[in-house]
Amino acid sequence: LAFFVFGLINNVLYVIILSAALDLLAAPSNTPTNPSSPSRAEPGNAPPPPAGIIVFCNIFPALVAKLAWPYLLPPPIRYARRVVACCAISACGMLSIAFSNGLGMRLAGIGMASFSSGLGELTFLQLSTTYPEKEVMARCVGAFSSGTGFAGLFGAFLWWTIRGFGVRAGVGSCTVLPFLLPLCYFLVLGSAPEHAGSMPSEYTPIATAEEALPAQPIMTHKSTSEVSLTVRDKFQLVRPLLARYMIPLFLVYFFEYTINQGVSPTLSYPPPSTADHPILGRLFRTRGDFYVVWQMTYQMTVFLSRSSLLLSIPALPERLLPLPATVQGVLLAILAYISISTGSYGVDVMVKDGDAVGIIYLILSLIALEGVCGGSSYGTRAWREDLTARPPAASSISSAGDERLRAAQREFLIGSLGFSDSVGILLASIVSVPVEVALCKVR
């Protein structure tokens, strides 16, 4: 439960900010927003800045946290301080967004929330490595992954519900959400000694809070220095995992978000008739409903696939780890081809011949497969980094049988590679702009 809440709350602010992008750019903080339509600039006024600036500020600080934090800060990790810091930074960021009318302060608040999200993700994944049993680790990673998937559905629905109150009241009310992180950490998860109670006596866990550090030293000075990984040691650990985990995950998210931001917005068609197609006719009332349904389909399948570990569905075998990236690349090509081949003239012909409904069902199926590939790759990557990633045998820091060293290595590894998905999302947000423009011109 605690790790599910960690994943949900850690990612939900990211989703809320993306869902509120147009409102944050166009509406004063105390102005109620019309929930039936996106915020628009008033006629005669300068148009609002592009929504891409929100995407950039919502991703880049998280990328910085994931890239720099594991390499620059020495162990041991003070989990209690990190959780409280994530709560404070997120709350301050949301308050800055809610009560600032200037775009600069709002972007600064978005950056703070993004940095906290990136730091929180690597913190909670690293926290899962402090459990000695592999089954417990797997459940923790699975619950966190499931929570991040549910954040997409919950965040979009929450903003849709409170959007009519305006940015100040709507975003301001979300400031209470980060406080669930320390509440779950201290009250639900329990103290570090309770976590460590089932560990073998020869295995000493990395403390999960400052208060958990015992009064007497658990290692000699020599052994303490052995588990203190240098920056060079950390790069030696990561290098073998570059092709195995990082590049496939980068490609999955690059293709996935290029589809979501560059191709999906162009896949709109005349709404089906309710008389002929009762279900589709109610789902797609206007052309604008198509993108919303595509995204809801994506978010639902991401949630289900990210919950696979929690449901005891086996992770992908190591030899199949590149498969989701390959499938995502094929899906990108197919959906782009559908967008090109079903332009305005093609749609008129399809509607006349009754074939448009078949295309809609095909797109729904492809986007559902996209969500499955993206969600499963996240859970599989985290699980395998946590449980199976090991340094090369020739590494100068390897020490056979030293469980404390292995614990430090696992703790670093699971937190060090998460930036690959953020790089993919950031690059996709840049590439998707010309992709969407080009597809719109063709259509």
Q: What is the pLDDT of residue 347?
A: 52
Per DSSP, 71 falls in state: H
> Would you say the pTM of this structure is higher than 0.75?
no
How far CA 2 is from CA of 152, 188, 410, in Å, comes to: 18, 6, 21
Residues 6+ apart with CB under 8 A from 336: 263, 435, 439
Residues 6+ apart with CB under 8 A from 12: 151, 154, 155, 158, 177
Q: What is the pLDDT of residue 87?
A: 94
280 vs 218: CA distance, rounded Å = 64
Best mean pLDDT range from 153-157, 351-355, 362-366, 379-383: 362-366
Please choose, from the candidates 207, 237, 264, the residue with its C-alpha nearest in 3D space to the C-alpha of residue 413. Answer: 237
Measure CA 386 to chain center. 18
Instruction: Name the one residue in this structure whose structure tokens are 């670093």.
Output: 412
Tokens of 116: 């906290």
Superfamily of domain covering 2-218: MFS general substrate transporter like domains (1.20.1250.20)
Please choose, from the candidates 211, 57, 204, the residue with its C-alpha nearest in 3D space to the C-alpha of residue 130. Answer: 204
Count of positions (residues) in the chain: 443
Domain ranges of the chain: 2-218, 223-443
pLDDT digits (tens, 9 = 90+) for 167-195: 888 888 999 999 999 999 998 886 543 34
Q: What is the pLDDT of residue 440?
A: 83
Q: What is the pLDDT of residue 332?
A: 96
